[in-house]
Amino acid sequence: MDKELKRSLNKIKKLFNKMQYNNISPNEKRNIAIDTYDTYAGQVQAILREANTHFGIEKIEDLSLDIFKKLIEKRVENFLDGEFSESNNINSKLTAFKAFLIGMDKTNVYRKTKRTSEVSKIGYKDDIEIGTKDDIKEIRKFVGESGVLRKGSDSTVLRAKPDQVMAVVDNVRKNGYNTINRATAADIALLSLASGARVSSCLKMRARDIDFDNKCITMKNAKGGLTYYVDINDKDIPLLKSLVENLQPAQKIFELRRKDGTLLSGEESRKIVHRYIKEAGVDFYEVEKREITQKNGTKIEVDHTKNFAFHSIRKAYALKIMGLYIDKIKSQKDIIKEVERISKRDPKILDKYQKLINRSNYYRVEKNKKIVRENKERRKLKLPEVPLHPLKTEVSIKSAVTFFTSIQLGHFRNDIVTNYYCTFEEAIKNKR
């Protein structure tokens, strides 16, 4: 690797490290998890490597808006050719690059080159004058107009079932070398199936985070810097107890090691676990036919393949949990009881539930606004007023079950669950 390119890649990493150290969030709405800074650094480094391969660029400072657009346009073309995973790739890289621009503005890592570099001229926010316009927003608009939308149907991750996960776990244990790390990876997969935890959360988890007295697992500093709580199912208690047996409360549950016995870093461990699971799940996949419209307007049919990945385990967990809630929630009384129960450990649930009700009333509220305006004119004309549509104070059982599932996943959004994990109908079908 060229020395200049290597220096530039290291400098990108340095910028995100400094953002993390100084608590500079690329998302003003919320804090982000520590792992996210590493993810963003990797995405921006990938952008530079791609720019180096195709345009000979060795320093991120030399990346112009024009070249950046060309890199994105290439991925748009890939999507239109049937590579549906590009929808997520594009979104991830735009988000990471925006974070990089914020770091460039708010840290001194690029202080000497900042004002003269090409990349500093790319604007990232309307009210910060780095560029003349919000260029990232403009690129996102172009991507959307090209028909590249991040949709659940475009995901290349298989929506697995619990029995498929168990088969993959068995494959992890018995196939390949480094049996100690494989055994650990298998246990991580089982913990994920029992809790819905991501790999990063499993690797951070300490024995004290599993509370058997209250049948609850605390997910600390999860994706987005969020802390949330997951119920422990009685059937999973023996597994969970075996994982924390003989561990001190503050001790991490999982450790992966090199051949010489030294500990692997969190990022190294995460990559190994992902690789083991992917390799062990190679026999589980789905292929569906998709019709796409190419740039010239021609419609063609392509194969869309969904493969088993670690995130498939989280999808299997969602399917399992939603099935349990279908058995549990039978009436409005059950809904209120469950909201009261989980809000005792997490008060923000009450606000989330109210927002769910408000969303269900959205169209009624909009209609009522129109009626209010009409009634104002009708009063002037001394005409009878039109009654307002009554607002809902409850949600459907289907919506409630999906909502409770979203809480267990740490998302708190029904649309995320139905688009990327499982639907109410899928959960019912799985129970048959």
* Domain termination site, one of 257, 280, 303: 280
Query: Is residue 296 one of the residues assigned to a domain?
Result: no
Query: 213 with 273, same domain?
Result: yes
Say if residue 423 is in the same domain as residue 329. yes
Residue 111 in any domain: the answer is yes
Claim to verify: residue 140 and residue 169 sit in the same structural domain: no
Q: Are 31 and 118 in a shared domain? A: yes
Q: What is the spatial distance between Cα 31 and Cα 24, in angstroms, rounded to a whole number?
A: 9
Segments of the chain scoring below 50 in pLDDT? 126-133
- 106 and 184 part of one domain: no
Same domain, 39 and 143: yes
Residue-level pLDDT at 129? 33
Domain that holds residue 127: 3-150
Specify the number of domains making up the chain.
Answer: 3
Q: Is the pTM of this model over 0.75?
A: no
Q: What is the DSSP string of 173-226?
A: HHSSS-HHHHHHHHHHHHHHHHH---HHHHHH-BGGGEETTTTEEEETT-GGG-
Per-residue pLDDT, 128: 34
Residue 221 lies in a domain: yes
The confidence score (pLDDT) of residue 132 equals: 36
Output the pLDDT for position 117.
60
Residue ending a domain, among 100, 117, 150, is 150
Backbone angles phi, psi at 188, to 5 degrees: -60, -40
CATH of the domain at 255: 1.10.443.10
C-alpha separations of 374 from 385, 391, 422, 426 in Å: 8, 19, 42, 43
The verdict on 142 and 172 lying in the same domain is no
How confident is the model at residue 149, as a pLDDT? Answer: 52
**End of a domain among 92, 120, 150?**
150
**Same domain, yes or no, for 145 and 171?**
no
Q: Are 401 and 325 in contact (CB under 8 A)?
A: yes
Q: Does residue 134 form part of some domain? A: yes
For residue 252, the cross-strand partners are 206
Question: Could you tell me if residue 297 is inside a domain?
Answer: no
pLDDT of residue 217: 96
Are residues 130 and 26 part of one domain?
yes
User: Per the domain annotation, does 298 fall within a domain?
Assistant: no
Domain assignment of residue 318, yes or no: yes
Task: Indicate whether 254 and 323 sit together in one domain.
Answer: no
**Assigned domain for 387 exists:** yes
Pairing of strands 299-307, 285-293: antiparallel
Same domain, residue pair 256 and 326? no
Task: Return the pLDDT at 58.
Answer: 87
Verify that 145 and 166 share a domain, yes or no: no
Tens digit of each residue's pLDDT (9 = 90 or more) over 357-402: 888 887 888 888 899 899 888 888 888 998 988 888 888 999 999 9
CA distances, 156 to each of 84, 86, 298 (Å): 7, 10, 24
b/e sequence 256-291, b meaning 16+ C-beta within 10 Å? beeeeeeebebeebbebbeebbeebbeebeeeeeee
